[in-house]
Structure 1
Amino acid sequence: MTTRRIAVVSAGLSQPSSTRLLADRLAAATVTRLGLHDVDTQVDVIELRDIAKDVTNNLLTGFPSPALAAAIETVTTADGVIAVTPIFTTSYSGLFKSFIDVLDTTALQGSPVLIGATGGTERHSLALDYAMRPLFSYLHAVVVPTAVYAASSDWGTADDPAATLPSRIERAAGEFAELVERSTRSEGKDPFALESSFAQMVGGFGAQ
């Protein structure tokens, strides 16, 4: 059975957190989808609130603590990343952005990323497409088409299959699982590498 590793980054500040709840639901739906294709999934959750001081110190000194270094390693070597943040002042939280800032700008190249966000009202949902999606696109990650936003009112119907939040979670998880299943990041391969060398391809064309 194939094994894939998913890193879940939750930037919620409260405990319990609706941000963590959304992250857990996205992860669970992804695991279920991958299981249908005989893929075993390891999920590692990173609560940014637990390493907030480490992130700040790294920005000031340039040196990560052991806890932050472990979190960075988990995210940058995973076969896929689920990233969920609360929306503050129409954009992702400062803690979320600070964590992204300590990553190497090439560390997520080719990595499948599923983005999600939580907020008080539906009007902040556009932050996913004008803030989070461009951020990960700049890092050359592969962001799935469906992003998931959960407003406070969504949680009252979160367990209703006919409601929009469960359907968005399932659709996004399906898109994400498809990319993760094909991922070769945990095997140490470049996701953009050609299967054959240029010389081999030229030779192949000449033999036709």
Structure 2
Amino acid sequence: MKLVVVSAGLGVPSSTRLLADRLAAAVDRRTPAGIQVVELRDLAVQIAHAFTNGFPGGALAAAQDAVAGADGLIVVTPVFSASYSGLFKSFFDVLDKDALVGKPVLIAATGGTARHSLVLEHALRPLFAHLRAVVVPTGVYAASEDWGEQGLAGRIERAAGELAALLAGPSATGADTPGRFEVVPFEEQLAALGEKTVEPGAGLPL
């Protein structure tokens, strides 16, 4: 099992990297995995060159291969101008367009104020949905005042549990257990509806 952590933190030390490490440790406690961290700060120049000449440098190519070959990802960005950082977005722009298809991804972000917490929903989740990744339901945002608070620890544990379940496969989600919900692809639901005959007005609310 290979888990790749992408951190877009710029400082040393970095709260973004700290959050990434806590998330990775929480996942590893549930589903032991080989963890590789990709620090985008160290790849900034090669990412810029990849845009201008179309060829990644050696370190960037290795990071791209690691992400493409991972069983799951944890991605963490600092918030700039109410969105993900330019460095974070640029890295995913130079990935192969199919690199994340079907891959479980846990999204997270750090910022100076809780007012930017919706960055997870209006920026990160749409980005990875566009890349056709499978984004876990719980995203984790950490504002400056969240560190040391029980609420942050709870969100980390909940998100890590969701990612670990996806990494472990369908049997870990309890799909075969009575009383649990099974995820049915939309195409199958649509096909099943097409096989049924529904009289006009049947089942509509009064």
> What TM bracket, shorter-length normalisation?
0.7 to 0.9
Shift of 1:104: 1.3
1:99-149 deviation line (CA, Å, top 9, x unaligned): 010011111000000000000000100010000000000010000000000
Structure 1 counterpart of 2:11: 14
Unaligned runs of 5+ in 2: 171-206
Structure 1 counterpart of 2:153: 166
Unaligned runs of 5+ in 1: 35-39, 158-162, 184-208
Among 149, 170, 174, the residue aligned to 2:141: 149
TM-score (normalised: structure 1): 0.80
**Aligned equivalents of 2:70 and 2:15: distance in 1?**
24
Kindly report which structure 2 residues correspond to 1:58-207, keeping only aligned pairs within 5 A, or say none. Answer: 58-157=50-149, 163-182=150-169
- The answer on 1:29 being equivalent to 2:16 is no
**Aligned equivalents of 1:105 and 1:125: distance in 2?**
27
SS of the residue corresponding to residue 64 of structure 1 reads coil
- Residue type of the alignment partner of 1:147: G
Kindly report which structure 2 residues correspond to 1:28-67, keeping only aligned pairs within 5 A, or say none. Answer: 28-34=25-31, 40-67=32-59
Q: Percent identity, aligned pairs only?
A: 62
Shift of 1:156: 3.6
TM-score (normalised: structure 2): 0.81
Query: Which has the larger Rg?
Result: 2
**Aligned equivalents of 2:88 and 2:15: distance in 1?**
15
